[in-house]
Structure 1
Amino acid sequence: MTPARWVLGTVAAAVLGAAAWLWLDGGTAGAPQRPAAGGLPPATAKVTRQTLVDTQSKAGTLGHGPATVLSSKLAGTLTRMPPVGATIRRGKDVYRVDDTPVTLLYGSLPAYRALSPGVEGADVEQFERNLRALGYEGFTVDKTYSSQTASAVRDWEEDLGLPQTGTVELGRVVYAAGPVRVDAHEAAVGDALQPGTAVLSVTGTSRVVTVELEVSEQRLASKNAAVGVELPNGKSVKGKITKTQVVIDTGGGGAGESEDPETKIEVTIAISGAKASFDQASVDVAFTASSRKNVLTVPVAALLALAEGGYGVQAVDGAATRIVPVSTGLFSGGRVEVSGQGLREGMTVGMPS
């Protein structure tokens, strides 16, 4: 005879929750069987066609994202800083050195040299775009720092209370992708600054969720992929992965912590609909590991581990039963994708009690 036993729980984890309860009389698998009295399964379920989505939940932090430390490129005394939590926009002071402003501009290229007539490059064009956005005119936005650009810069310097040199001093501007929020002070008013001295750290102004994944989980971190975020109040909001980057976690070096650096995948997620009261909190993020559209599924508990190997389901047709061998696919939410000859949507299959 051909024995089979019910597999309870997740087959992928090989968890057998109880002893086998079904033994069918001899015959070829798939042939109708007439069980003895009481031989019908104690419960049944239907084969359904649906989309299965496998999600994996990871812990994340709701906040403003990773902070960036801004260091001075000027020497002097730190005379003013904005308070923690303040928002700084284009053209405004990031901090002041010797009571002169260090100004925020928008761009991806960091300032790395002074700008003066005759200088050419992408950094010139980036600066000129900002100068035009601040309302200064009379020059062409291009990669050449012209005498017309210098004239507009003198107007800008006058408005800032600076000597009118027509040259952009290295360290006079700081670039960021957009408005920034002051996250922490790295120095104190009155400190003497040298080029390279950390002054403050900033983040973006939008609230985002940050998750650290293991390198082996990188498949979850697809840019622009949709995720679900569960807030501390139990409500869920939609999110989208906007950035992924490799980071090195050096560890805290405390008791019981490894001092060996560890590579992680840092994922930044933009969210919508979170209440303002959740400015910073721990959250759970549901990543979509994989999905299968329009597939036949049965409850995981309906799977039989066949004595000859592989899996099957017990098809029930009135008082008759037969074993249908199946191939399994994605497991999700207590159901499993199945395929096999003779399997069809709406079929009744046996279940344990």
Structure 2
Amino acid sequence: MELANGSTVEEFILLGFQIGQQKRHLLLAIFAVIYILTLAENIIIIMLVHADVQLARLPMYILLSNFSLLEICYVSTTVPRMLFDLAFPCGVISFHECFLQFYIFFSLGYTECFFLSAMALDRYLAICNPLRYPQMMSNKSCYALVGACWVLGFLWHIGPVILISKLSFCGPNIIDHFVCDPGPILSLACPPVGNIPIICQFSMDGLIVLGNLFFVMLSYGAVILTLTKSSRRGYRMKAFSTISFHLVVVTLFYGTVAGMYVVPSGESQSHVTKVVTLFFTAITPSLNPLIYCLRNDQVKEAVGRLQRRKMGLVKRKLIV
């Protein structure tokens, strides 16, 4: 791979969705609503966890509040830019903004992999090692785990981004996507770099994705095995209900990640990639808060406590 000190290309053009004006405006309205709902859902979870003393002490909800913060960052990295391009279809993005989006987008994706593994570890320790759980997942240990997820996620992709950004780009500068994705970017390098960098990129991604997926499957497999042996039917059913929601989130995440790598070759490849990426970046983050909290008794109890606390404050003010 030939590296260059600089680049002759100062900006890229994101083609986005090549559709008519009416369909573009429809997509703009739909994904603007989804974006606002995603922000609202995740902000509510963060505020609820921090407002309720009981939830704030539980490792699972410390992880969940940070996961919600991650989802807010994730959708805000790509969706506002996509909405802007749908409203004003010019698609021009500067060289540095493109690579910044590329770095943050993939780093947050890696961070989500680590958070899903951390949540799987938490459930494994809580169900398979309940006596040692308070010691092993103390608040200090939990915050250290949270910090490790963020740091590892953002450290992993620094090297590839720096190497790709130092390639020479002399034109054309059109990226057939609505985000700055490494595949289309590498295809614009001159002289052509071939398939080796893309294979290396996929190998690095696969190492993180498959490694975390294996850990998650191993953890939940041990949890399910432990629950099947439990004689406490009520506890077993409640635990299975919680685990099933976790597994839905894991399936959505890794299912869409797999879809990004198993797209068909040919002319339809870019269209399929855009659809999968759209689901990955906009739809999934809006579903995760609902999946985690929709039938969660602890969240419902926390909402009830918060409402009673507010009613008590209102009554005191009225008395005064």
Q: Hey, which of these two has a bigger chunk of strand by percent?
A: 1
TM-score, normalised to structure 1, is 0.18
Q: Hey, which of these two has a bigger chunk of helix by percent?
A: 2
Q: Which protein shows a greater Rg?
A: 1
